[in-house]
């Protein structure tokens, strides 16, 4: 926008200029760049899901899809359409309503996590019981819990603000709640989702002013807990050893099979990739190429350039979430501010873990890449969380104009 000169030499201001100055300043009602970045990630992800899954019907495992090479593309498109509708509905709900119902939503999601474990109710895939069948797609309650954990932790921190320097009242109630969540998730089992939810809760408590000494001690205890879980679980322990030396004889064709083929994919991609659709690893070499390891397919087909573009988009998204949260806190909307930053923590941690696994920086763990990997529950609740973030930004803008929501 350029500046208008409100006067002319030898005369008075024009009527148009006076009207422009008298009109109240207007701000965009929502963050358009944020919307476009989210849409870009989802559409880019849909293209890569199609590329990564186009050969799957040729595999005996997916024999029931014979001739349906666009099966996953069409379903991902349907998931995105449903997610956009859900996001529009979510955006219309005031932030105060989310705060009011956060505890009840937490309890309801705990019930869903328990239902997953009931024989005949929960659906088992690849040895894990994490889904509830809704016919059209399988609902994964752990994805709901990620959104709810953000809202519950933000509400808890605001309500218990005066106790944030005390262990018994400032941390123990949240620890008990997360312990129950963890117990249910470990029965599925889903250590990755549990790790993300713990990071969300601890991150929000830290941002809410939790005692630094207690925070450091609890962080150390959590590291010990997760290490113990890995040590006591034979398959997790074997996966950890394979991660430490994936090319050792026996590992490359067993526990480190996914990791080695992911690294091969990145190696083949080099700087500019082999070209969209040209991946060899997706041809039944790299398992879960359209879900957990979609980043490896991006690296192979689009190279370092494609990987850096995706990293840059997610970096901008997480930074924007923290900016919105900072602005909300400056406007004395502490729940909204903590929720916005919690959404940033959630996306940032999950993206870091997924990319770290794909690149061999972290042990193999079944976490999808937000907004981009194939899956209904993941995309749906990523969009719900980001719609809440957009609503927080919208209410910030309204308050800055001196209006009401």
Residue-wise pLDDT tens digits, 16-51: 443 444 344 455 678 999 999 999 999 999 999 999
Give rounded-to-5 percent helix, strand, coil for the chain: 65, 5, 30
Nearest Cα to 181, choosing from 172, 199, 193, 171? 193
**Furthest C-alpha separation in the chain:** 89
| Residue pLDDT, tens place only, 206-255 | 998 887 777 788 888 888 888 888 788 777 777 777 777 777 776 777 77
Name the residue ranges covered by the structural domains of the chain.
Answer: 30-80+258-400, 93-232
Outline where 9-70 has alpha helix (H).
15-22, 32-53
How far is residue 244's CA from residue 251's CA, in Å, rounded to a whole number? 10
The model's pTM is: 0.89
Q: Using DSSP bridges, classify how beta strands 138-139 and 122-125 pair: parallel, antiparallel or unpaired.
A: unpaired
The pLDDT, as a whole number, for residue 38 is: 97
Element spanning 338, H or E: helix 334-358
Measure CA 178 to chain center: 18
| Residue pLDDT, tens place only, 98-152 | 999 999 999 999 999 999 998 888 887 777 788 888 777 788 999 999 999 999 9
Which residues on adjacent β-strands are paired with residue 129?
124
How far is residue 61's CA from residue 47's CA, in Å, rounded to a whole number? 22
């Amino acid at each position: 926008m350029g500046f208008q000169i409100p006067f002319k030499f030898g005369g008075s201001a024009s009527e148009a200029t006076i009207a422009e100055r008298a009109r109240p300043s207007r701000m965009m009602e929502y963050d358009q760049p944020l919307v476009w970045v989210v849409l870009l990630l989802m559409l880019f992800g849909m293209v890569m899901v199609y590329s990564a899954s186009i050969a799957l019907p040729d595999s005996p495992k997916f024999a029931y899809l014979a001739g349906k090479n666009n099966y996953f593309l069409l379903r991902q498109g349907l998931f995105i359409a449903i997610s956009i509708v859900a996001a529009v509905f979510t955006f219309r709900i005031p932030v105060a309503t989310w705060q009011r119902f956060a505890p009840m939503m937490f309890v309801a999601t705990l019930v869903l996590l328990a239902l997953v474990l009931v024989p005949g109710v929960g659906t088992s895939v690849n040895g894990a019981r994490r889904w509830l069948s809704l016919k059209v797609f399988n609902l994964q309650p752990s994805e709901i819990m990620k959104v709810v954990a953000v809202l519950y932790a933000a509400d808890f921190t605001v309500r218990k603000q005066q106790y944030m320097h005390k262990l018994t009242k400032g941390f123990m109630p949240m620890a008990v709640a997360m312990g129950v969540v963890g117990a249910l998730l470990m029965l599925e089992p889903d250590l990755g989702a549990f790790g993300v939810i713990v990071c969300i809760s601890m991150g929000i408590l830290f941002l809410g002013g939790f005692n630094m000494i207690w925070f450091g001690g609890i962080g150390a205890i959590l590291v010990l807990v997760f290490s113990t879980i890995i040590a006591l679980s034979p398959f997790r322990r074997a996966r950890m050893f394979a991660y430490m030396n994936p090319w050792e004889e026996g590992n490359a064709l067993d526990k480190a099979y996914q990791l080695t083929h992911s690294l091969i994919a990145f190696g083949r991609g080099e700087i500019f990739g082999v070209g969209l659709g040209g991946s060899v690893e997706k041809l039944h070499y790299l398992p879960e190429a359209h879900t957990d390891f979609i980043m490896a397919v991006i690296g192979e087909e689009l190279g370092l350039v494609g990987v850096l573009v995706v990293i840059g988009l997610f970096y901008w998204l997480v930074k924007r979430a923290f900016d919105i949260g900072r602005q909300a806190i400056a406007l004395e909307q502490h729940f909204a501010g903590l929720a916005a930053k919690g959404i940033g923590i959630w996306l940032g941690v999950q993206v870091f873990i997924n990319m770290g696994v794909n690149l061999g920086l972290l042990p193999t763990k079944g976490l999808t890449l937000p907004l981009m990997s194939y899956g209904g529950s993941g995309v749906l609740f990523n969009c719900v969380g980001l719609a809440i973030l957009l609503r927080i930004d919208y209410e910030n803008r309204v308050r800055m104009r001196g209006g009401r929501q």
